[in-house]
Structure 1
Amino acid sequence: MALRTPTRTSLPPGPRLPMAVQTILFGVFRHALLPRLQRRYGNVIRLRLYPERSVVLIGDVDLIREVFSGPVETFHAGEGNVVLKPVMGEHSVLLTDEEEHRRARKLLMPAFHGAALRGYRDLVTELTVAEVERWPVGRPFRVHDRMQALTLEIILRVVFGVSDGPRLAELRRLLGHVVEVNALDIFGWHSPRLQKYGPWRRARERQDRVDELLYAEIADRRAAADLSGRSDVLSRLLTVPGDDQLTDAELRDQLVTLLLAGHETTATALAWAFHELARNPAVAAETARAADDGDEKYLEAVAKEAMRRHPIISEVARRVTEDVAVGPYVVPAGFTVLPSISLVHGNGRYHPLPEVFDPSREFATGTWFPFGGGARRCLGAGFSLLEATVVVGEVFRRYSVSAVDSRPERTRNRHITLVPGDGARIVVRRRSAAAGT
């Protein structure tokens, strides 16, 4: 199967429920809904989701590969992510397309590749050690909460160069609230009327305060005398030359994107990794061996298998600007295609025994894509894997990890991410003590 110039006019099949019902089912029960839809309708499924868009889920690797390799003029990822616009902003690297996106990506890329990426290792290690040494030994705790706190500290340091002071302390607190949203909250993002009431009004007020803090930080940084000597992302963006210089509004949107996307997804991936390791003693023992030996290839494989077994983002989005044939169907211009990470990662055709957590498994080309693909592959992918590798290693050098309950935690939809329903509760014990019992 392949994408090609349309010769047919039939739309893909899908449920006929009202848009509001489909939106709620998709937003709240996506992890359970998608496999059922695939069994009933196949690998190309039409849905209607708020706000006012028709989408087509794709669960076939060959078709997904064609989407990722298709022309960026036809497949608009920025328009596909329009649901995030009220929070991320219209200039966000996630929300722009074509030339504007290329410009933003060019400016952000140096901070997350090459020497800059290697330079973050000591920072990540320092903050990780400080965090895990505070963990309660022998008592259950929600490791997802601790991973969110850690990855937020890391990205604050990467973006601002510092994480101290009353302004950043308030920003840290507010960002915690921003990521704690559900499917109903998203309705308020796109409805000024709802924003006058209750939780939607409070969410709008928090977002406004985040903006005030960021604009104040940008103003102070612009006036800094040592700007050219700093290596944090904000300073880098403020020192770009000539026509590439960013306005305050553009800076605000990129900073919000980095702060939210740069910590929430990695934190959740790590929480799922510890959730699985706590329930798989043999894999945990091999992870401890890898931590002791400095076997970062295996430690990274643990993180990658956690992302495969528990996709953090269920799908990526591309809005098509012209009619496109997908298998035996046509996707009209204006529709959004959703290459489904969840459907591919959980498909036994691509991953034998998909329910088994197995870091030794190898991935065929195109069957593992938690960071998306093509020209829009997440520019922070390398940074995320670096963080995860360091964190898993530092934890297993110190602790053994066990589950509070042998049963797996349910998956819960939180805004666009899929998180452990009870926070990935674990118990840790010092390895020296554990070995002596």
Structure 2
Amino acid sequence: MTDELPGIPAGPKTPAWLMTWKFLRDRQGLVPGIHEKFGDTFSIQILPGPRTFVVFSDPVDIKEIFAADPAQFHAGEGNAILKPVMGEHSLLITDDLEHQRGRKLLMPAFTGPSMRAYQPLVEAIAKVEVDSWRDGDKLMTLDRMNALTLDVILQVVFGVTDEKRLAVLRPKVNRMVNIDAKMLLAWSYPRLFALPPWRGYFKNQQEVDQILFAEIAERREAKDLDGRDDVLSRLLRVGDTEGEEPLSDIEMRDQLITLMLAGHETTASALSWTLHELGRSPEILAKALAAADNGDEAFLEACLKESMRLHPIIDFVARTLQSDQVVGGRLLPKGTTVTPSIMLSHSREASFADSHVFNPERFLVDKIAPNTWIPFGGGVRRCIGAAFSLMEGTVVLREVLQRYSVEAPTVAPNKLRNITNVPGDKAPLKLTAR
């Protein structure tokens, strides 16, 4: 009988406001301690609401959540904190039929043939960036990777190549991304946008929107639309011939801003952590340098995957229950948010021996069990840009390591910036020309 099953698991008694503040500021300092005390499954209270988050880290439970009926496990509702920035039509925010429609329209832009079409552009942008470096430079890696991946997104997603437009967009997008916990509060309490410092952030966002709407309007009138491969042009070509209603300007804006924000900083952080770990590991660096010279993309991708395991860019996945559900042998009530923990999953010794050690070989030699390495989530909501991110990261690593050896003088601390984990010191590297 389901009424005999256990319900909400135990968790800390911390007041919801304090738990929310800690959760927004430093999850890597918070969650492992709770896990150590309460085990693989525990609950926390998060504002607004408060809402009950039930955190899972056992791969069996994570598989169950990823395989569950998306109509009853709403990922969009679980990501609701992002709505003020991403927009109500964002692929990250929507559920059910609207999500299915958005994903269907976006998916062709991220298939194998599309990846092959984008790769030369990524290579060219990476080459321009690395050409600006010099032997002996101290590279602030996070800054440079953010600049590089932003240019990739602006050109691949928007097709913007005009340097004047790029120069206007770059600082405005960076301002949208480079925020701390107090700014995140406005994502839960939109009324704060009327007050400083949130008001300035919101004004900047409105300016970005104006640029995007102007770009959309101009592109709709472009005579060469059929010959363009960027995501915006692809979306504008979608019409009744595909049996789908074309996206409105508002829907287009929400999908584009989602791809821009979710697709550039995450890859920049992954690249920064990867180069940092290589700079701390001479033996692995030697293998990576050889891989770059020999075109061994499998090893470079393994380095990227291992850094994403050791330094999860996003900490967790969220699904909000639309009805009472049995999850992990527990009867959880409607409205509960079930939360597979990427951080805890990636650090399980049962899944990854010596989980604290940077060891790319594990992705080449070992068979990685399903639902243990989950940086892109899973199930029908798995990140649509996963293949693009790995392609981009591998291309950039190859371009860097063909030209430079890297050395990291100190261990980089983790910093939670907006919803992503980045090197707190920007991962400085010493460059040595090869």
2:425 counterpart (415, 422, 432)? 422
Q: 1:310 is matched with which residue? A: 311
| Amino acid paired to 1:364 | A
1:14–1:45 Cα contact (<8 Å) kept? yes
Cα distance in 2 for partners of 1:368, 1:80 equals 21
Superposed CA deviations along residues 389-437 of structure 1, whole A, max 9, x for unmatched, are 11111111111100132xx111111111111010011111111xxxxxx
The secondary structure found in structure 1 opposite 2:55 is strand
Please name the residue that 1:18 is paired with: 15
TM-score, length-scaled by structure 1: 0.95
Going from structure 1 to structure 2, the CA distance change for 1:6 and 1:356 (only over 3 Å counts) comes to: farther
By how many angstroms is 1:97 displaced?
Answer: 0.8
Counterpart CA distance in 1 for 2:109 and 2:211 is 22
Runs of 4+ aligned residues of structure 1 deviating over 6 Å after TM superposition are none
1:198-347 matches, within 5 Å, as: 198-242=196-240, 243-347=244-348
Match of 2:394 in 1: 389
Trace 1:86-97 onto structure 2 (pairs within 5 A). 86-97=84-95
Structure 2 counterpart of 1:172: 170
**Alignment-mate amino acid for residue 87 of structure 2:** G
> Corresponding residue for 2:136?
138
Q: Answer whether contact 1:60 1:344 (CA < 8 A) is retained.
A: yes
Aligned-residue CA RMSD in angstroms? Answer: 1.4
Gap runs ≥5 in structure 2: none
* 8 Å Cα contact 2:177-2:265 kept in structure 1: yes
Q: How many matched pairs?
A: 426
User: 1:140 touches 1:404 (CA, 8 Å); kept in 2?
Assistant: no
SS at match of 1:292: helix
Per-residue CA deviation, residues 347-384 of structure 1 (Å, 9 max, x unaligned), is: 11111101110000132222111000010111100000
Shift of 1:16: 1.4
Deviations 1:158-216 (A, max 9, x none): 11223325444322210000001111111123334422222111111111111111111
CA distance change for structure 1 residues 367 and 192 in 2, over 3 Å: closer, same or farther? closer
Corresponding residue number in structure 2 for 1:435:
none
Cα 1:349/1:219, change in 2 over 3 Å: same
Relative distance call for 1:269 and 1:6 in structure 2 (3 A) is farther
1:43 and 2:43 aligned: no
Q: Percent identity?
A: 49
Q: In the alignment, does 2:349 pair up with 1:370?
A: no
Q: Is the 8 A contact 1:12 1:330 kept in 2?
A: no
Matched letter for residue 131 of structure 2 = E
SS in 2 for 1:45: strand
Alignment of 1:411 with 2:403, yes or no, is no
- For residues 180 and 188 of structure 2, what CA distance do their matches in structure 1 show? 14
Aligned to 1:401: 406
CA distance in 2, matches of 1:6, 1:174: 52
**Alignment correspondent of 1:118:** 116
Deviation per CA, 1:116-159, whole angstroms, max 9, x where unpaired?
A: 11111111111111101212421322101100000010111111
Residue correspondence of structure 1 range 41-190 to structure 2 within 5 A: 41-52=38-49, 53-190=51-188
Say whether the 8 Å CA contact 2:11–2:38 is kept in structure 1: yes
Whichever residue aligns with residue 27 of structure 1, its letter is L
What is the alpha-carbon distance in structure 2 between the residues aligned to residue 413 and residue 290 of structure 1? 31
- Report Cα offsets for 1:91-133 as digits up to 9, x if no partner: 0011111111111011111111121111111111111111012
Secondary structure of the residue aligned to 1:311 is coil
Q: SS of 2:121's equivalent?
A: helix
Please name the residue that 1:434 is paired with: none
Distance 1:268 1:415 in 2: 12
Partners in 2 of 1:6 and 1:312 — Cα distance?
38
